[in-house]
């Protein structure tokens, strides 16, 4: 009799959230939530304001400690690891750039702190600047950049760290409509080029439908449906999903 190894068909998971509960005092924002994100997947967490998207992302990033449950990244239990040791890069809605440093300084700061060699830092900055088309901006300070340019630099800071997983928390919501659609295309291109895992939080249905490999629709801390955009649009699980995504039901 042939023995079939049981692991050969298991999809590789980049991020796994296991039985995650997060409470702020008596308010339980996430209750026993489970989610598996595949290697190289673009997963969008979609839901209206206050449903718990940022809380979930912050738990994955290590910025919030779960009340219960575990987080795995690349099959490693990172629940108790520092954010900097998780192999993730995070891009927020507000750019969180150091105002006193140039763009180059912002990009290199984390790498210098980590003790990386100068030549390697220069190489990484050159690559990120080329990918994000911010080469002419390297000697400027954040105050001299537009919102879209600042957000490119914020993405660049994750890019230079060569992380496995990118976490985006509503990165485009402070931008005007034109810039938003431009940067949406850019982020999509970045994902196609890097092929890394991206978890992207938004309340914007269009962003979700155009960017995602799969969408997880959340309401009150509970995932209502997890599927590819076409399935979500054509076959919503329930009236909430149908109403939120604007599909006929
Ligand atoms: P979203 O990102 O989907 O808009 P959040 O994850 O930020 O939602 O928030 C989910 C819920 O948790 C909201 O009701 C919010 O008020 C609450 N919340 C978030 N952060 C805290 C905190 N630090 N202390 C208490 N309540 C919080
Ligand atoms: Mg949020």
Q: Which burial class, exposed, middle or buried, applies to 80 when counting CB atoms under 10 A from its CB (0-12, 13-18, 19+)?
A: exposed
Q: What is the pLDDT of residues 217-242, one digit of tens each?
A: 999 999 999 999 999 999 999 999 99
CA of 129 to the centre of ligand 1 (A): 34
Q: In the prediction, which pLDDT does 215 show?
A: 98
Residue 12: pLDDT band with limits 50, 70, 90? confident
60, two tokens: 């994955």
Hey, which bits of 116-213 come out as E strands?
165-169, 197-202
Measured by CA distance, the residue closest to atom 5 of ligand 1 is 52
Dist CA 100 CA 135 (whole Å):
19
Contact 111, 145 (CB under 8 A): no
CA of 128 to the centre of ligand 1 (A): 33
The interface pTM score, or ipTM, of the predicted complex is 0.98
Among the bound ligands, the one closest to the CA of 29: 1
The answer to which of 27-31, 69-73, 155-159 has the lowest mean pLDDT is 155-159
- Choose one of 21, 25, 55 to mutate for the ligand 1 pocket test, by most ligand atoms within 8 angstroms of C-beta: 55
Predicted confidence (pLDDT) at residue 9 exceeds the cutoff of 70? no
Q: Which of 120, 17, 166, 127 is nearest to 77 (CA)?
A: 17
Tell me what the mean pLDDT of segment 195-222 comes to: 96
Residue 239's contacts (CB-CB under 8 Å, 6 or more residues apart) are 249
Predicted confidence (pLDDT) at residue 4 exceeds the cutoff of 90? no
Predicted confidence (pLDDT) at residue 10 exceeds the cutoff of 70? no
DSSP bridge partners of 77: 72
Q: What is the pLDDT of residues 80-110, one digit of tens each?
A: 999 989 999 999 887 789 999 999 999 999 9
CA of 50 to the centre of ligand 2 (A): 7
- Choose one of 17, 21, 24, 56 to mutate for the ligand 1 pocket test, by most ligand atoms within 8 angstroms of C-beta: 24
Residues with CB under 6 A from ligand 1: 24, 27, 29, 47, 49-55
Supply the pTM of this predicted model: 0.91
Among the bound ligands, the one closest to the CA of 169: 2
């Amino acid at each position: 009799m042939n023995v079939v190894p049981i692991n050969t068909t298991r999809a590789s998971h980049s991020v796994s959230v296991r039985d995650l509960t997060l409470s702020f005092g008596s308010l339980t924002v996430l209750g026993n939530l489970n989610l598996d994100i595949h290697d190289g997947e673009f997963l969008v967490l979609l839901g209206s304001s206050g449903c718990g998207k940022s809380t979930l992302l912050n738990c994955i990033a290590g910025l919030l400690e779960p009340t219960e449950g575990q987080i795995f990244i690349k099959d490693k239990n990172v629940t108790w690891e520092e954010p900097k040791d998780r192999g993730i890069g995070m891009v927020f809605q507000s750019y969180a750039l150091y105002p006193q440093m140039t763009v180059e300084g912002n990009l290199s700061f984390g790498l210098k702190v980590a003790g990386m060699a100068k030549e390697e830092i220069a190489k990484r900055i050159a690559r990120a600047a080329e990918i994000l088309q911010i080469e002419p901006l390297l000697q400027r300070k954040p105050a001299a950049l537009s919102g879209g340019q600042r957000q490119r630099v914020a993405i660049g800071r994750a890019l230079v760290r060569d992380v496995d997983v990118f976490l985006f928390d509503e990165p485009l919501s402070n931008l005007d409509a034109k810039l938003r659609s431009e940067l949406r295309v850019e982020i999509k291109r970045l994902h196609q080029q890097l092929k890394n895992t991206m978890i992207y939080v938004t309340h914007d249905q269009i962003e979700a439908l155009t960017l995602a490999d799969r969408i997880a629709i959340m309401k009150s801390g509970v995932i209502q449906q997890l599927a590819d955009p076409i399935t979500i649009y054509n076959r919503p699980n329930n009236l909430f999903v149908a109403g939120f995504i604007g599909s006929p039901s």
